[in-house]
Structure 1
Amino acid sequence: MDHFNYKDGQLHAEDVPLSRIAAEVGTPVYVYSAATLTRHFGLFRQALDWTDHLVCFAVKANSNLAVLKLMADQGAGMDVVSGGEYARAKAAGVPGERIVFSGVGKTVSEMRQAIEGGIRQFNIESEPEMRALSALAVSMGAEVPVAIRVNPDVDAKTHEKIATGKSENKFGIPIAKSRQVYAEAAALPGLKVVGIDVHIGSQLTDLDPYRAAYAKVADLTRALRADGHDITRLDLGGGLGIPYRRDNNAPPLPIEYGQVIRDAVGDLGCEIEIEPGRNIVGNAGVLLSSVIYVKEGEGRDFLIVDAAMNDLLRPAMYGAHHDIVPVREAALGAELRPFDVVGPVCESGDTFQKGTQLPSVAAGDLIAFRSAGAYGAVMASEYNSRPLVPEVLVSGDHFAVIRARPTFEEMLSRDTIPEWL
C-alpha cells in the first residue's frame, strides 16, 4: 500500500496534487510520502514485536537527511556501508548505539570515524578487515562489538547484480569456515564478538531462501555457543521485495517474513536485527517527469521525457521495471497505445520501457514513475552535465523541498581550472 492515488482526476501524493509540485519545483523531481514511510516501518516493527529487536533502515536505499530523520524519529536504527552514510545517520540524529556498519571494504579511517562517534556493531566481512579493526581498536584503547557476516551459499533467486548470499559473491565469510574465524575473532584484542550477520540479496519475492539461510544461522548459533562464544544478536539482513508491477502477485508481507524469522531462530533467545530499505521506501516515492516530445519513429512511437538514466538508473543498470502512469487520470475506456519511454541522455541505454501502454499524451503532460523511492536519487549522477534531481517530502496537504536542484553555476563551481591553463 502507498499514498499515491488519483483524486478528482489528478494523481496525488497524500493530499498534494503532483501537478502542484511540478509547477512549483519543476521536473524531473522525486516525491516521497511521509505517511507511506512511517506505515511501512511500522509493519516491520510489528512483525518482530514477539522479541527484542532493532529495525535498521538500509541507508543505501535512500540517504536523504529528511528521510533518515523521519525514520529515526520512529525509532529506527541505521545500517550504513560507508563513512558518508555514517555521517548522514549521525546528522539525522541517530545515536551511535543504533548504527550498524556493514560493507566489504571498510577503510581504517571509516572504522576510526565510527569508533569515535559510537557504533552498535561492525559487521565483519573478511579476516583482513577483522585484523585491521582489532589493531585500530587497540591503538585507540577501545573494545568494539562485532558480528561476522557469514555467506550461507543460498541462492536468493534474484537479479545477479543484487544477489549476495551465494559462494561466488564477494560478501561475507564462507559458512564452512566460520567457526575457525570466530575462534580467531575471540582471541583478537579490542574485539567483542556479539553476534552473527547474514544477508542473501535484495528484491526477494519468495520466503524459501530466507528459510534456508536462517536454518543455517540457527545451526551455526548453537555450534558457536558450544564453542564458548556468547552469541546474543542475529543480524538477518533485509532484501524483502516490493511489487514493481501492480498487475503481478504481491511479494510476501513483513508479518510473514517475521514469522519465518520466529520459526527459524525464535527459540535461541537472541536479539534480532533486520535491515530493510527497499520495502520501506521503494513504494513511498515516485519520480515525476514531463513529456518533452512525442516522436513518431519507424514502426514505433517515442515518448521523450525530461527524466533520464542519470536520474533513475535502475532500468538501464538492471533492466528494472517501474510502472509509468499519467498524472492526469485517463478517462474510463480511453484508448491506449504503445510508447517507448526514453530520456534525453545521449545513450541508447537511456530507455525506461519499450512498448508501454499509455493513453494519448502530448508535450507538457506529466507522468510518474512509480516505486522509485529506493535506489533512485541515491544512484543519480550528473551525467551529460544534467543537475542532480531534487527531492520533495509530502506530509498530508503540505510538502517541502528536502534537496534542491543545483544550478549550473553550482555545478561548475566544484571544478577548478589550474592557473597554468
Structure 2
Amino acid sequence: RGQRAHLLQLADAGTPRYVYHLPTVRARARALAAIKPIDQRYYAIKANSHPAILQLLEAEGFGLECVSHGELKHVFQHLPELSPKRVLFTPSFCPRSDYEAAFALGVTVTVDNVEALQRWPDLFRNRELWLRVDLGRGEGHHAKVRTGGKDSKFGLPIARVDEFVRAATDLGSRVVGLHAHLGSGVETAQHWRLMCDELAGFARRIGSVHTIDIGGGLPIPYSAEDEPFDLDAWAEGLAEVKALHPAFRLAIEPGRYLVAESGVLLSHATQVVEKDGVRRVGLDAGMNTLMRPALYDAWHDIENLSRQGGYAEAAFDVVGPICESSDVFGKRRKLPVSTAPDDVMLIADAGAYGYVMSNTYNQRAMPREDVIE
C-alpha cells in the first residue's frame, strides 16, 4: 500500500507485470542471517531468478542453489565473479550433461540415487559428493509440494544409504554433505529439529560427512489469517540441535521465504460480468502468468489497486483469459462492487514461483518484470 502510486504508474506501462520490492528481500535475508546455528545459507533460485534478486542475496552472504545446467549458466552469467564453492547443484533425474557441466564448473554436487554412480562410474570417480536422502515421509501445504516418502521422486531411501556409500567408496569418492528436504510450506518448527537429529545419525554412520543440509520450505503468511512463521522458536530449536551435534555444519536452502512477500503481480481488469448470480472479473493475466492457484490450489490475496478504501464490496470470482476451467485466481473474493474494466488489480505474495513458472500457453505473451529499490 505504501508503494501504491508507484505500482499504478508501473501498471500504466503495461500488464501483466511482476514487481519486486528489494528492501523486503533484504529484510528476509538478514532475518535468516541472524540465526547463529546456521553455518551455510543458500538461496534456491528456482523460486525467483531475477538478476537483481540474485545479486542482492549474494551480497547478503547467501550462496545459490541450482537444479539445472540452465540455472547454473544463469547464475554465472549474472555473477561472473561468484566462487563455485558458494553454488550448490541439487538436480533431480537430470541428464549426464548436467552433471558434467556442474563438475566442470567446480560447484558442490548433490546426488540422490545409487543408479547414477553405477551407470556413470567414470563421471563420479574421485569426487566429493553431497547425498540427498528420503527420510520416508513428506510434509507441506499441498500434495504436489511434498518431496519425501514412497510416492515422491526425490531422495535416496534410507535403507540404501549404506549401498550408496559403498558404491561411492569403490569409486574413490566421499560423501561430505547429507541433505533432506521433505516439502514446502512446513509450519512446525519441530520438523527441522527432527530432521537434524535423523540426518546427524546417518552422518555419523557414514563417517565422512561435515555438513547437514535441512533444505528449505519455510512458510510465509499468504493470507491475513495466517500466522507468520516463528523464526525465534525455529532458531531456538536449531540451537539445541547444534549443541547436540556440534561436529556438523548446518546448511539451509530456502527460496519462498526470501522472495514471496517481496513480489506482486499487476494486471488490468478486462471484463466484469454476471452469470447466474456469480460476479466475475477477468484479468489480462492468467494461469500462464501465475500457475500456483491452478497447480496447487494456492491462495493469494487479491486487491483492486485502483479503488482502495471506502468502497462497498461484493464477492467476485477472479479469472484469466486462458481457455481452461482451471484459469481461476480466486473464488468469492471481496472486491469493490464498482470494480470495472481497466482497473488495476494486484495479486499479492507473488515473488516466489511466479514469473519463473510462467509460459506462453494460448500464445499469450510472457509477463514483464520490474524491481523497486
TM more than 0.5: yes
Q: How far 1:268 moved relative to its partner? A: 2.8
Spell out, residue by residue over 1:204-262, the C-alpha distance to the aligned partner (whole angstroms, 9 max, x if none).
Answer: 122233233222112222322xxxx2211111100011111122222332x43333333
- 2:188 corresponds to: 206
RMSD value, Cα: 1.8
- 1:85 corresponds to: 71
From 286, 290, 296, give the equivalent of 1:312: 290
- 1:385 corresponds to: 363
| Contact residue 174 and residue 208 of structure 2 kept, 8 A | no
| Contact residue 123 and residue 148 of structure 1 kept, 8 A | yes
Matched, 1:75 2:61: yes
Instruction: Give 1:69's aligned amino acid.
Output: Q
Name which of structure 1's ranges 368-377 and 197-206 shifts more when overlaid on structure 2. Answer: 197-206
Flag structure 1 segments of 5+ consecutive residues without an equivalent: 396-421
From 214, 228, 237, give the equivalent of 1:260: 237
- 1:325 corresponds to: 303
Matched, 1:348 2:325: yes
Matched, 1:22 2:1: no
Q: How far 1:122 moved relative to its partner? A: 1.2
Q: How far 1:348 moved relative to its partner? A: 1.3
Matched, 1:124 2:102: no
| Contact residue 61 and residue 277 of structure 1 kept, 8 A | yes
Q: How far 1:159 moved relative to its partner? A: 0.9
Q: How far 1:329 moved relative to its partner? A: 5.1
- 2:262 corresponds to: 284
- 1:43 corresponds to: 31
With over 3 angstroms needed to count, the CA separation of the structure-2 counterparts of 1:57 and 1:343, relative to structure 1, is same
The count of aligned residue pairs is: 369
| Contact residue 240 and residue 278 of structure 1 kept, 8 A | yes
| Contact residue 132 and residue 178 of structure 2 kept, 8 A | yes
- 2:158 corresponds to: 175
- 1:415 corresponds to: none
SS in 2 for 1:17: helix
SS in 2 for 1:367: strand
Q: How far 1:157 moved relative to its partner? A: 4.5
- 2:314 corresponds to: 337
Q: Percent identity?
A: 31
| Contact residue 132 and residue 156 of structure 2 kept, 8 A | yes
- 1:303 corresponds to: 281
Spell out, residue by residue over 1:117-146, the C-alpha distance to the aligned partner (whole angstroms, 9 max, x if none).
Answer: 121x211110022345641254xxxx4321
| Contact residue 111 and residue 133 of structure 1 kept, 8 A | no
Spell out, residue by residue over 1:157-204, the C-alpha distance to the aligned partner (whole angstroms, 9 max, x if none).
Answer: 431100012233111111133133223222323x33212111111111
Spell out, residue by residue over 1:359-416, the C-alpha distance to the aligned partner (whole angstroms, 9 max, x if none).
Answer: 1311111111001000000110000111111111110xxxxxxxxxxxxxxxxxxxxx
Q: How far 1:105 moved relative to its partner? A: 1.3
Instruction: Provide the rounded CA distance (Å) in 1 between the counterparts of 2:32 and 2:119.
Output: 34
SS in 2 for 1:223: helix
With over 3 angstroms needed to count, the CA separation of the structure-2 counterparts of 1:271 and 1:214, relative to structure 1, is closer
Instruction: Provide the rounded CA distance (Å) in 2 between the counterparts of 1:366 and 1:21.
Output: 10
SS in 2 for 1:268: coil
Flag structure 2 segments of 5+ consecutive residues without an equivalent: none
Spell out, residue by residue over 1:17-65, the C-alpha distance to the aligned partner (whole angstroms, 9 max, x if none).
Answer: 20111123x1110000110111111111111x245x2211001111222
Matched, 1:218 2:207: no
Name which of structure 1's ranges 298-307 and 98-107 shifts more when overlaid on structure 2. Answer: 98-107
- 2:95 corresponds to: 107
| Contact residue 65 and residue 91 of structure 1 kept, 8 A | no
Instruction: Give 1:234's aligned amino acid.
Output: I
Instruction: Give 2:162's aligned amino acid.
Output: R
- 1:373 corresponds to: 351
- 1:165 corresponds to: 148
| Contact residue 218 and residue 264 of structure 1 kept, 8 A | no
Instruction: Give 2:117's aligned amino acid.
Output: M
With over 3 angstroms needed to count, the CA separation of the structure-2 counterparts of 1:214 and 1:114, relative to structure 1, is same
With over 3 angstroms needed to count, the CA separation of the structure-2 counterparts of 1:296 and 1:33, relative to structure 1, is same
Kindly report structure 1 stretches of 4+ aligned residues shifted beyond 4 Å: none
Instruction: Provide the rounded CA distance (Å) in 2 between the counterparts of 1:98 and 1:133.
Output: 25
From 169, 173, 184, give the equivalent of 2:167: 184
Instruction: Provide the rounded CA distance (Å) in 2 between the counterparts of 1:50 and 1:163.
Output: 26
| Contact residue 150 and residue 173 of structure 1 kept, 8 A | yes
- With normalisation by structure 1, the TM-score equals 0.83
| Contact residue 211 and residue 260 of structure 1 kept, 8 A | yes
| Contact residue 37 and residue 242 of structure 2 kept, 8 A | no
From 221, 230, 234, give the equivalent of 1:243: 221
SS in 1 for 2:218: coil
